[in-house]
Structure 1
Amino acid sequence: MQRIASRPSDTYSPLYFLAALGAGGLVVTFFMWLMFWIPHPGQPVPLFEDIAAAFASGSLLVQAMIVVAMLGIAGFAVLNIKSLVWNLRRFADWRRTEGYAKFALTNAQSQVLALPLALAMTVNVLFILGMVFVPGLWSVVEVLFPLAMIAFLAIGVLAFRMYGAFLGRVLTEGGFNCAANNNFGQILPAFAFAMVGVGLAAPAALSTVPAVSGLGIVLSTFFLVTAAVIALLAMILGIRSMMENGANPETAPTLMIIVPLITVLGILGLRQSHGLHEHFGAASTAGDALSLLTTYVSVQVLFGLFGLLILARQGYARRFLFGAENSPGSYALVCPGVGFAVMIHFFVNRGLVDAGLVTQFGPVFWAVTAVALAAQVAMIWLVLHLNRRHFGAPKESAAVPAE
């Protein structure tokens, strides 16, 4: 019998865009270090000049933190862009195959929304790279904000076209398999719209021009509402199917997609709140932020425990992370860990510290922050592990014998 070399990624799935998304999310986790651990007076985010000043005046420990953060940002940004380019090429080829034609008649058609989701994340990554590595960026940032908004709107239009094709088919022709909807996979489109929304909310928080900030608030609100409506409906449909048919073992990681969705929508809301406070007199207190962030973390813990319970009962890790089976959906496990790590940083710094409950850089501060760091380390390992399994050296597999 003839044997051929193969690897899981040789059989393409749009869920491989989540590999790019996970790498981009890890860029954000490293940026959180710079965001909350070094001073950046004069603007709400750290820039190259702030990082350089902190490095020049900081202790050896601070300097080491900055070096690790910048290396992490640079390394995972490269991985994010490399993975995105690979996916775009493979997706373009795959769309011309018979396999795609069959795929587009199933529930899984909505998985193509992973493409605009990954695109929106990469735009955010590029913005982080600019802030961290480009001197003088803030002097031209007001020119960049409209360009960024145009980019996010273009991605949003693409997402609506893709989701419209899916909804148009199932709502006019039928064919949606409710029994096979025993997961939260249909929430993926909501995640894509939320990622576009959080990108549009950045100018709302950072721009000094009221018109630009206001436009960012309006546009990001539209995508926030879109994401919330889709997520709510998809969750209800998914729970109903799971109660009747049980959760699908291969797609079980989607049960925790609410965790990163809450992070993205939460940051979107915080950005809007900052813009409304700066330009439109809508004051918010530290107590308001603490209450809101505590609610977000509570929802994440609840859905995280729910997802982990199902994954453990089904032996997901034994089968798809360490066993003989592989699934591109395994990359969906990275998003909850990254989302939870980022939200914990906001909870500690914009919630507990700003409300005066915890002293910055004190023992309690680092005890809670350690949860975020542990999640970050675990997701770094998971991304590298999955990349080895799915994109590493091909393994020999038996081929159909020639007659």
Structure 2
Amino acid sequence: MEVDVVVIGGGATGSGVAWDLTLRGLSVALVEMGDVATGTSGRYHGLLHTGARYAASDLESAKECYQEHEIVRKVAPEAVDDTGGLFVLSPKDDESFIGTWLEGCRGAGIPVSEIPVKEALEREPLVHKGIRHAYDIPDASCDSFALCGGLRKSAESEGAKFLTYHRVEEVYHDGDRVTGVWAVDQRTGEGTGISCSAIVNAAGPWAAEVGKLAGAEFAMVLSRGAMIAFNGRWTHAVVSRLRPPGDGDIFVPLGYTGVAGTTSVPTDDPYDARIEDWEREKIISETEAFLPGIRHARILRSWAGVRPLYDPATASDSASGTHVDNRKATRTFDVLEHGERDGVHGFISIVGGKLTTFRLMAEKTSDIVCKHLKVKEKCSTAETELLSLK
């Protein structure tokens, strides 16, 4: 097989890169070791961020989230549930944080308005009766499987090839330039050689491993987060605690369930899907601070995903439940052009970021690919609605 670009990784970002590049007229083969959204994209809490969660701690990420939140609503309407959002100050939380948070929201351009506690409790009767402040925010929930399915269908309609259940086992070079990959079907053991002019590494928490195959080494900061899904939605809106980001401070109505999360535990293993007992208890006990009946709800399932962060953080003892919160690592993203960085030309990695910002991440990555291939077509994904899955 011969294409212009090979994309490695079939999450929202990799699928978004395939969609972007095909709209610019390039031929693309996407290689994914599982199905689309097998990794981090399929293992998150379902919040389509406005950025308000990071307004006081990571202003750049907050700005990116709000910009892209508005775009994702327009281009992927089938994947988005316009729940609205509510930030509440629980009886346990520090009122002095409010001013810092509001200043950050203003700096990021995020619309926020305080509403009376009585009104908030009328909207959300299961929220703690002792909340002291409530703020309306335009959060929403997002079905990542519908999103990634729409990205795949849209990219394939433009000619992209998706090789799911294929693992890249070798990256070909001609001197200091990448020229293709060898991908093996995990079901049959058969291999496929794909020639190309550029490779995009969008493998999420596996990005450093893929980089090594190409001869481009870099360090990731991996963070495991656990989530719990309960029977029933419980709330109409996404409800968040009004405090610095911490464990168990988001509740997302997603489909027929309500999802509570998350933790943030450093890990060295991109396959790490453990949920330790202290994490379950931590999520439930912290969620009780603003949704007090949740301990008596029926748990349908729990899961964990690994965040592919790209920022220094400190290791810790996960098993004991004492961990350095690497939420201090930035949630923004970096595009690594390995020709300049490592002398591996035609190889580009996209690392960090959030599902909410997948389209922007794909745009910035595709811009570099197009510059490398001397393609002048501009990005059109902010104006192009994904094809319907119906």
Give yes or no for TM over 0.5: no
Larger helix proportion of the pair: 1
